[in-house]
Structure 1
Amino acid sequence: MALIVPGTTALEQGINPALAFMLFVTFLQVPLAELRQAVYRFRFLAALLLTNFVVVPIIVAVLVQFLPPDPMIRLGVLLVLLAPCIDYVVTFSQLGRADARLLLAATPALLIVQMLLLPVYLSAFLGPAAASLIKAGPFVHAFIWLIAIPLILAVLVQVWAGKSAVGARVSSVLGLLPVPATAVVLFIVVAAVVPQLGQALDATFQVVPIYVAYAVIAPLAGWGIARLFQLDAPAGRAVAFSAATRNSLVVLPLALAVPGAVPLLPAIIVTQTLIELVSELIYVRLAPKFGVTSITPLI
Structure 2
Amino acid sequence: MTRERLERHQVWFYLAALVLGLLLGQVAPGLGPAAQASVWPALALLLYATFTQLPLTSVPKAFRDIRFLGTALVGNFVLVPLLVWGLVQLAPPDPALRLGLLLVLLVPCTDWFITFTRLGGGDGARATALTPFSLLLQLLLLPVYLWLLGGTPVTGVFTPGQVWPALLVLLGPLVLAALTLRWAGDRPRSRRLVERLEVAPVPLLAVVILLVGVSHADEIAGSGAVLRVVAGLAGLYLVGAVTLAVLLARLARLPVGQGRTLAFSLATRNSFIVLPFALTLPAGWETAALVVVLQSVVELLGMIVLVRLVPGVFFREVTPRRRAQAGS
Above 0.5 in TM-score? yes
Pairing 1:60–2:60 present: no
Read off the aligned partner of 2:271 and give its amino acid letter: S
2:137 is the counterpart of 1:112:
no
Q: Within 5 A, what are the aligned runs for 1:132-147?
A: 132-133=156-157, 141=168, 144-145=171-172, 147=174
Compared with structure 1, are the counterparts of its residues 133 and 151 closer, same or farther at alpha carbon in structure 2 (3 Å cutoff)? same
> Which of these residues, 301, 309, 315, is aligned with residue 278 of structure 1?
301
> Cα–Cα, structure 1 residues 16 and 202, in superposed 2: closer, same or farther, change >3 Å?
same
Describe the shift of the 1:139–1:119 C-alpha distance in structure 2 as closer, same or farther (beyond 3 A).
farther
CA apart distance, 1:257: 4.1
Shift of residue 210, structure 1, vs aligned partner:
0.9
State the distance in 1 between where 2:304 and 2:91 align: 26
Aligned to 1:79: 103
Structure 2 counterpart of 1:89: 113
Alignment correspondent of 1:269:
292
Q: 1:297 maps to which residue?
A: none
1:95 positional shift = 5.0
Say if 1:256 and 1:71 are closer, same or farther in 2 by CA, change over 3 A: same
- What's the TM-score, normalizing by structure 1? 0.74
Q: Distance in 2 between matches of 1:239 and 1:225?
A: 9
CA change 1:80–1:185 in 2 (3 A) is same
Distance 1:203 1:148 in 2: 36
Q: Displacement, 1:184?
A: 0.8
What's the secondary structure of 1:2's corresponding residue? helix
Are positions 1:50 and 2:79 aligned together?
no
AA matched with 1:191: L
Residues 77 and 268 in structure 1, CA contact (< 8 A), matched pair in contact too: yes
Indicate the percent of aligned positions where both proteins have the same amino acid.
Answer: 29
TM-score (norm 2): 0.68
Q: 1:72 to 1:167 in 2, by over 3 A?
A: closer
- The 8 Å contact of residues 138 and 250 in structure 1, kept in 2 or not, is answered as no
In structure 2, the partner of 1:2 is 21
Q: Aligned in 2, Cα 1:82/1:110: closer, same or farther, shift over 3 Å? A: closer
Match of 1:159 among 183, 186, 193: 186
Post-superposition CA distance 1:269-292 (Å, at most 9, x none): 221122223334544555555353
Deviations 1:123-160 (A, max 9, x none): 2xxxx456744677578546634545434534543511
Separation in structure 2 between the aligned mates of residue 83 and residue 33 of structure 1, nearest angstrom: 21
Range with greater deviation from structure 2 (3-12 or 58-67): 3-12
Query: CA-atom RMSD, angstroms?
Result: 3.5
Equivalent position of 1:255 in the other structure: 278
Return the alpha-carbon distance in structure 1 between the equivalents of residues 311 and 174 of structure 2.
25
